[in-house]
Amino acid sequence: MCGIVGYIGGREAADFLMDGLTKLEYRGYDSAGIAVYHDGAIAVRKKKGRLVNLAEEVKVHPVVGTIGIGHTRWATHGGPSDLNAHPHTDEAGNFAIVHNGIIENYMELKEELLEKGYRFKSETDSEVVAHLCADMYDGDFTRTVQRVLARLRGSYSLVFMSRFEPDKIICSKKDNPLIIGLGEGENYIASDIPAILSYTRKTYIMNDGEIAIVKKDNVWVTDLEGNPISKKVFEVNWDAEAAEKGGYEHFMLKEIYEQPKAIKDTMGSRVSEDGSHVQFEELNWTTEDVTSIGKIMITACGTAYHAGLLAKYFIEKLARIPVEVDIASEYRYRNPLTDSKTLCIVISQSGETIDTLAALKEAKRLGARSLAITNVVGSSISREADQVAYTWAGPEIAVASTKAYTTQLVTLLLLALYMGRLNGTLTADEESRILHDLTAVPDLCRKIFECADEIKAMCSSFEGREDVFFIGRSMDYGLAMEGALKLKEISYIHAESYAGGELKHGTLSLIEEGVPVIALATQKDVEEKMISNIKEVKARDAYVIGVVQEGDTEVRKTVDTLITVPASDNFVVPIMAIIPLQLLSYYIAVSRGNDVDKPRNLAKSVTVE
């Protein structure tokens, strides 16, 4: 997820571009750049690192002109560097583009362009778009953009400039946000509203499949074939702080609601076009690569550790390879039994978690192969690991992880399916069936959001309570651990998670009248056992909130209230079932007046032991 800006009008474009990027720096911050047209040429300035580096570059090497585009980057393809920073141009500098999203078929397009003699400067997927513009240009900039967009597969917000037609900027979107700010004798483009609030509150909100031709005095919007579309002006009435959060009260809530898109982006090109199988081009493993694995060691911290616990179920059931899961801070101090037949999977949102990085180095010292699951391209863990599978969650601002966790689960489930097929333990029909349910998750998640008010109303059950318990079996136990962590880290309520079968081994002594118990019962193969556990806590007068799949008829008979999630495959449903727990934790924390985005004593990335 990146920040995009564009300007055309009568003032110096660089001034708006730099100011707009400053307002959007929270969306991406590993590099930034601007491109400005003046006197027959497009001048580009871009620098790795925070926006201050670009500001210094522009100060030393200023650009003048009244039309330009800008970008602040969150790396996906290619690590942070000056060359990988946007904007990208073709070799002749006739076209400049900025891009937010993932071009899934970029490698296919790049190979085609290389055969034609085009030379690439960066490692990004985005650069292919600039070269495609050059390759397909027929004397009409708008028509060229239409033809380029028809070649692209994936998600994007794209903004185009051409020195051949410097009176316009063209933009389009698919699955990524884009707006147009309407001014007097000037117009603006941005990926989000904060960039333009100081200049105008009149906007067009772009929809998927629309193209806007933006001039200083006019804006035309068409479909991909050029048919005119009538747009209504949206008047922004948010203040600047609310706009930065997309109108949500907190970044955490915004990021909870961003999960459908993040999940879709993470699946991306890893699912074949026909939806039948997983393809991990970045790993490119053979059958021998998988069959040679004696065991898998997963190590991580906090929320990422909880994702690892579910990955154990995914991999052992689908790929039939033994898996250990260890807290990273414990792994290297227990003289672990790790060798050359071990695959060490480390999971870290930031890629900078110091304990996880140390565990990775220890596993490599002991001879293990290593695979990192991380959200940050070019991070320390991504550089240290032998291979990397990135999650495409985009920047996560709130300390409490939400979309990073669900995208980790998606990546790990895809990995388990991939390994199962290569290992011969998973049939093609089984893989296709699970993928069918997995690819439906982004749309199904939205059904959960429709029940947000009902979840919010459950907060009253937690008033005056300082203890809450989560119980579950099988994959629901790992989910219970993450649910408890979310609640305690932002609400400051003491929350514990227990395997349902452990209740009678001591935990039942903690249950008393009115104590809230959240009982996860989404796994059909252990539902009967969970019902017995629910009855045990109900017999001690607990207040029980059940979490079940739609269509459940039995659990609802034993609980006080119910949260339902869309029915899906047992492997897929945990990805959705965490969302109502995130929402419940959020609303409870808000009701207690807590700083949800910055809970006390916690930091987003733990870089000290």
Give the containing element (helix H, strand E) for 235. Answer: strand 234-235
Reported for 424-427, long-range contacts at CB under 8 A and 24+ positions apart, including other chains, are 424/287, 425/318, 425/319, 425/320, 426/318, 426/319
Largest CA distance in the chain: 81
- The CB-side HSE value for 252 (13 A sphere, CA atoms) comes to 27
Q: Which three-class secondary structure state does DSSP give residue 221?
A: strand
Cβ-contact 180, 195 below 8 angstroms: no
Quick check: is 451 catalytic? no
Cβ-contact 332, 344 below 8 angstroms: no
- DSSP 8-class letter at 228: B
Reported for 191-194, long-range contacts at CB under 8 A and 24+ positions apart, including other chains, are 191/2, 191/3, 191/4, 191/5, 191/24, 191/27, 191/100, 191/157, 192/3, 192/24, 192/27, 192/243, 192/244, 192/246, 193/236, 193/238, 193/243, 193/246, 194/23, 194/24, 194/240, 194/243, 194/244
Quick check: is 2 catalytic? yes
Cβ-contact 97, 158 below 8 angstroms: yes
* Peptide bond between residue 87 and the one before it cis (omega within 30 degrees of 0): yes
Question: Considering 2, 171, 301, 445, which one is annotated as catalytic?
Answer: 2
Residue type, position 531, single letter: I
Give residue 8's Cα distance to chain centre.
Answer: 31
Question: Considering 215, 361, 529, 604, which one is annotated as catalytic?
Answer: 604
Q: Which two tokens stand for residue 7?
A: 């300007």
Closest CA to 483 of 420, 574, 553: 574
| Positive or negative torsion for Cα 441, 442, 444, 450 | positive
How many degrees, rounded to 5, is the angle at CA 299 between CA 298 and CA 305?
100
What is the distance between the alpha carbons of residues 593 and 603, in angstroms, rounded to a whole number? 19
Query: In the chain, what are the helix, strand and coil shares in percent, each to the nearest 5?
Result: 40, 25, 35
Q: Which two tokens stand for residue 232?
A: 């209504």
What is the distance between the alpha carbons of residues 169 and 297, in angstroms, rounded to a whole number? 51
- Which residues are known to be catalytic? 2, 604
